[in-house]
Structure 1
Amino acid sequence: MSHRIPPPWGRHYPPYQIAAIARLLADRGLPASAVLAGTGLDPVALDDVACRSSVMQHLAAWRNALELASDPGLSFQLGRGLHLPDHGSFGLMLLSCESVSDYFRRAQACQGLVASALTLEARIEGGDALWVLTDGAAHELPNALHDFLIEQQVAQLVTQMQDLLGPEVRPALARFAHPAPPHRAIYAQQLQCPSVFGWHRNELRFDAEVLSRRPRLANAFTAAALQTACEGALAEIEDSLGLAGKVYQALCMLPELGAGMKAVASTFQMTERTLRRRLAGEGTSFSSIADQVRHRMATQHLQRPGASVEQIALITGFSDSANFRRAFLRWTGMTPAQFRRQHQAHHGHPQPARAASHPFSLATQ
């Protein structure tokens, strides 16, 4: 199963998360139209099973919710209120997995079916099974919205594990890259585990003994049938991306962006001229797509300690650091150094203790 993530502009996802936000705020007397402002969706669309929405539309709704509600616990309420069946075939597949280890593998492999600005990686490390949350489309969001999405996603992962095994299951530890917020007490209440802030990454840990446990609704036949359905849905998304989306994905998967149009065109078995013509037919260009990917990669690398501006310029395909600085100023309105200082002021980066770590194998066992 593929775990490539579609580009954030594609309308691939049922808007059930947006509907959940609208319901939460409706209980507080706020109309759905306020949540949907700027999304291009109307309240009727939230009940339409054929409606599909993009990550960008979800981000607009999440931003509206954050501005409309003064409740710092809203993100946790949203995450704790979304159960596995709310995710359709994807969630039901996870609910019927034969082991928690199987759940981790399938959730990572099929995460492209869920509208999220974050990317999940399942790992085994230091006797723990953990989710590591990294930025996808969230790499350039305002700090308040970024932290809202992290809180929501971690709360949702706790809910999923309890859906599988029962409410008595608790995480061992949650760690967050952002500093301790004024509402830190809500973390302990909602996540039911200790929380550490100012860490070098966002992660949620469970004792590795849960991996061998059998979920309450495990059913091999149901899991296999729903996996087939999920693979079909992923294939439909892949087919609907258009060439622009596929070029975006191809560039995102490169370790460095030095490859030019000729190299990318060859992966699609076409000439540069054909690639240029077909992208123009979709209203874009190779340079525009590469610019978006460079922006994403640059901000991600600047958020990590260690890499110099010169190294990041090389990784993102610039001939020198001066050109990279000019491009970054155009993207963000600040220099790479200013961006890094701003990020580090909000996110501490202590050096983690070294521990044996490896990702889950995505092969079905």
Structure 2
Amino acid sequence: MTDTDNYNGYTTANIPVYLLRCLAATMAEFGHDPARLCLGLGFTIEDLSNPACRVSFRQGSALIRRALQLAPGKGLGLLIGERETIASIGLVGYAMMTCATLGDAVALGMSQQKFTGSMLEFEMRQDEQYVSVSACNRFHEPDIQMFLVEEAFASFLQVARGLAGNSFLPRRVDLNYAAPAYASEYERIFQCPVRFGQPVNAFVTDVEWAARPLLTYDPLSHRQALEFMEIGFSREREKVDLFESIERAVRHNLREQPSFADIARKLCLSERTLRRRLAENGVSYQALLDNVRKNRALEMLANPRLSIEQVAFEIGFCDSHNFRRAFKRWTGNTPSEMR
């Protein structure tokens, strides 16, 4: 992970937890304690039941990685995606249901993808024959890519069938990785040609499906849903922008622990205005500072060449004892336990 990834939101908590909540529930069915999956990640299993909960890409990928280690070779992404419905993506799903056609619904979903809990980036293209939705990584995480693509494409199928009926079938599914041992599961689920080792990940359908009318279309409900989304998501965007700006300013000078006044000056805000905006979003400057320090500490602790004393110094602690106490408070674990 690079400094550029930090600026692009790798450690910013802006991802809804729909996918992670479903993953935790599935792991519980496998006999694993979902609470343990969350240990040291900065959130609890109870947090995943809170509609307002947001996690960073780093936190989400860590949880997925743990689940994959506990359930290797099971096609976990396919299993999760198969269980999801249009309701699994929250308010965006409801707005999609009220669209006039399947194509309109897909276009809306693409435009609001950041609010669906997805950890991939999607792009829709349409020509005279096909509608194609391609998926690519937001960050370089090759060990969880297959899971994310499996989950996304299996979820696409369930959402499309929920909107257009069970007769919906993709034309083909292209994947940019080698066929896993359970490749037959792909054909069972998608019921179409599945091609591994392709240049891109793509979920491809016949263009005729885009014009399929939705039985749940309701123009008034659709307008209400869009208005509600605009209000809610504009607030969410403002909050994310504010948090990212503060976290970015903190990261620039983490060793020195910039004061609240320093951050306000960097954001060209008065201290009173910044304090009010944070209060409106239910968070304190200290909480954001601690979150940046915690995330940076977790990244550095993954490097065995760095001593705990070095990690403490880099995130602004004068001595390792205070760092150990703070880290235990942040994560429930000691720094040594996280190595």
TM-score scaled by length of structure 1: 0.63
Equivalent-residue separation in structure 1 for 2:131 and 2:62 (angstroms): 32
Q: CA, structure 1 residues 230+159, in 2 after alignment: closer, same or farther (shift >3 Å)?
A: same
Matched residue, 1:47: 49
Please report how far the alpha carbon of residue 106 of structure 1 lies from its aligned counterpart in structure 2 after TM superposition.
Answer: 0.6
Structure 1 residues 1-365: aligned runs within 5 Å:
7-125=9-127, 127-137=129-139, 140-143=140-143, 145-242=144-241, 245=244, 277-278=266-267
Tell me if structure 1 keeps the 8 A contact 2:100–2:214: yes
Please report how far the alpha carbon of residue 50 of structure 1 lies from its aligned counterpart in structure 2 after TM superposition.
Answer: 3.8
Q: CA, structure 1 residues 247+175, in 2 after alignment: closer, same or farther (shift >3 Å)?
A: farther
Equivalent-residue separation in structure 2 for 1:54 and 1:274 (angstroms): 22
- 3-state SS, counterpart of residue 199 of structure 1: coil
Q: CA, structure 1 residues 13+134, in 2 after alignment: closer, same or farther (shift >3 Å)?
A: closer
In the alignment, residue 11 of structure 2 is paired with which amino acid?
W
In the alignment, residue 56 of structure 1 is paired with which amino acid?
R
Bigger shift: 64-73 or 151-160?
Answer: 64-73
- 3-state SS, counterpart of residue 46 of structure 2: helix
Equivalent-residue separation in structure 2 for 1:275 and 1:126 (angstroms): 53
Runs of 4+ in 1 over 4 A off after TM superposition: 246-249, 273-276
Tell me if structure 1 keeps the 8 A contact 2:171–2:206: yes
In the alignment, residue 207 of structure 1 is paired with which amino acid?
D
In the alignment, residue 118 of structure 2 is paired with which amino acid?
S
Matched residue, 2:294: none
Equivalent-residue separation in structure 1 for 2:166 and 2:23 (angstroms): 23
State how many pairs are aligned. 252
Please report how far the alpha carbon of residue 36 of structure 1 lies from its aligned counterpart in structure 2 after TM superposition.
Answer: 1.6
Equivalent-residue separation in structure 2 for 1:14 and 1:241 (angstroms): 12
TM-score scaled by length of structure 2: 0.67
Equivalent-residue separation in structure 1 for 2:87 and 2:117 (angstroms): 15
Q: CA, structure 1 residues 147+98, in 2 after alignment: closer, same or farther (shift >3 Å)?
A: same
Query: Deviations 1:148-198 (Å, cap 9, x if unpaired)?
Result: 111111111111110101111110100011122222111101122111111
Query: Deviations 1:229-288 (Å, cap 9, x if unpaired)?
Result: 222233122211245736999xxxxxxxxxxxxxxxxxxxxxxx9999339x987xxxxx
Query: Deviations 1:278-301 (Å, cap 9, x if unpaired)?
Result: 39x987xxxxxxxxxxxxxxxxxx
Tell me if structure 1 keeps the 8 A contact 2:89–2:117: no
C-alpha RMSD of the superposition: 2.8
Tell me if structure 1 keeps the 8 A contact 2:73–2:182: no
Equivalent-residue separation in structure 2 for 1:39 and 1:229 (angstroms): 31
Tell me if structure 1 keeps the 8 A contact 2:98–2:222: yes
Q: CA, structure 1 residues 245+184, in 2 after alignment: closer, same or farther (shift >3 Å)?
A: same
Equivalent-residue separation in structure 2 for 1:201 and 1:109 (angstroms): 20
Equivalent-residue separation in structure 1 for 2:10 and 2:145 (angstroms): 15
Q: CA, structure 1 residues 67+219, in 2 after alignment: closer, same or farther (shift >3 Å)?
A: same
Equivalent-residue separation in structure 1 for 2:141 and 2:76 (angstroms): 18
Equivalent-residue separation in structure 1 for 2:128 and 2:65 (angstroms): 36
Q: Which runs of 5+ in 1 are unaligned?
A: 1-5, 250-272, 284-365
In the alignment, residue 121 of structure 1 is paired with which amino acid?
E
Equivalent-residue separation in structure 1 for 2:266 and 2:52 (angstroms): 32
Please report how far the alpha carbon of residue 126 of structure 1 lies from its aligned counterpart in structure 2 after TM superposition.
Answer: 5.3
Equivalent-residue separation in structure 1 for 2:178 and 2:240 (angstroms): 37
In the alignment, residue 83 of structure 1 is paired with which amino acid?
T
Q: CA, structure 1 residues 248+234, in 2 after alignment: closer, same or farther (shift >3 Å)?
A: farther
Please report how far the alpha carbon of residue 51 of structure 1 lies from its aligned counterpart in structure 2 after TM superposition.
Answer: 2.9
Equivalent-residue separation in structure 2 for 1:189 and 1:80 (angstroms): 11
Equivalent-residue separation in structure 2 for 1:70 and 1:274 (angstroms): 45
In the alignment, residue 20 of structure 1 is paired with which amino acid?
C
Q: CA, structure 1 residues 213+18, in 2 after alignment: closer, same or farther (shift >3 Å)?
A: same
Tell me if structure 2 keeps the 8 A contact 1:165–1:215: yes
Bigger shift: 32-41 or 169-178?
Answer: 32-41
Tell me if structure 2 keeps the 8 A contact 1:37–1:61: no
Identity value in percent: 22
Bigger shift: 233-242 or 115-124?
Answer: 233-242
Report the structure number with the largest CA radius of gyration.
2
Tell me if structure 2 keeps the 8 A contact 1:110–1:234: no
